[in-house]
């Protein structure tokens, strides 16, 4: 009785001694996924340093999440700044009409009123 068995292997040359390493496709896939070392017949260590497709996809997804978070943070900052600008414009418009920005009373001379009634708020107006 004769039993025949065949196995498909890929021959990979060693970068040091040029001898060949026979690896089955499933072994190659595992080594690429884990980046584990394997050895040529003369004992030289080899490995697959490049990232595989799954690792590249994970990295890209992480980058997209980071960029999205950064974009959301910037949009929040811009929104706060827009509200602050609108508040400052409203305050300026009230002052131009003679309304005190602190106590909201109408004054003929807002500058003199601020100096006399609100000296602590000099840098804000």
Backbone Cα Rg of the chain: 36
State residue 73's pLDDT score: 96
**Residue 113 pLDDT more than 90?**
no
Query: Hunting for tokens 């900052």 — which residue is that?
Result: 77
Residue with tokens 């040529």: 40
Is residue 79 over pLDDT 70? yes
* Whole-number pLDDT of residue 8: 92
pLDDT the model gives residue 121:
75
Q: pLDDT, tens digit, for every residue of 21-37?
A: 999 999 998 998 888 99
Average of per-residue pLDDT across 63-86: 96
SS3 sequence of the chain: CCCCCCCCCEEEECCCCCCEEEECHHHHHHHHHHCCCEECCCCCEECCCCCCHHHHHHHHHHHHHHHHHHHHHHHHHHHHHHHHHHHHHHHHHHHHCCECCCCCCECCCHHHHHHHHCHHHCCCC
Torsion of CA 86, 88, 94, 98, to 10 degrees: -160
Per-residue pLDDT for 63 more than 90? yes
Q: Is residue 125 over pLDDT 60? A: no
Mean pLDDT, range 53-78, rounded to an integer: 94
* Domain regions of the chain by residue span: 10-46, 53-121
d(CA 28, CA 50): 13
**What tokens does 24 get?**
């089955």
């Amino acid at each position: 009785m004769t039993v025949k068995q065949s196995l498909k292997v890929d021959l990979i040359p060693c970068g040091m001694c040029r001898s060949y390493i026979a690896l089955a496709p499933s072994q190659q896939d595992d080594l690429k996924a884990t980046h584990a070392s394997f050895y040529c017949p003369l004992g030289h260590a080899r490995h697959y340093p490049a990232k595989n497709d799954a690792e590249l996809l994970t990295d890209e997804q992480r980058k997209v999440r980071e960029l999205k978070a950064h974009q959301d943070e910037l949009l929040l900052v811009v929104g706060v700044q827009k509200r602050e600008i609108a508040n400052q414009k409203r305050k300026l418009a009230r002052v131009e009409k003679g309304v005190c920005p602190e106590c909201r009373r109408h004054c003929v001379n807002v500058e003199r009123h601020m100096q006399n009634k609100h000296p602590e708020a000099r840098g804000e107006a």
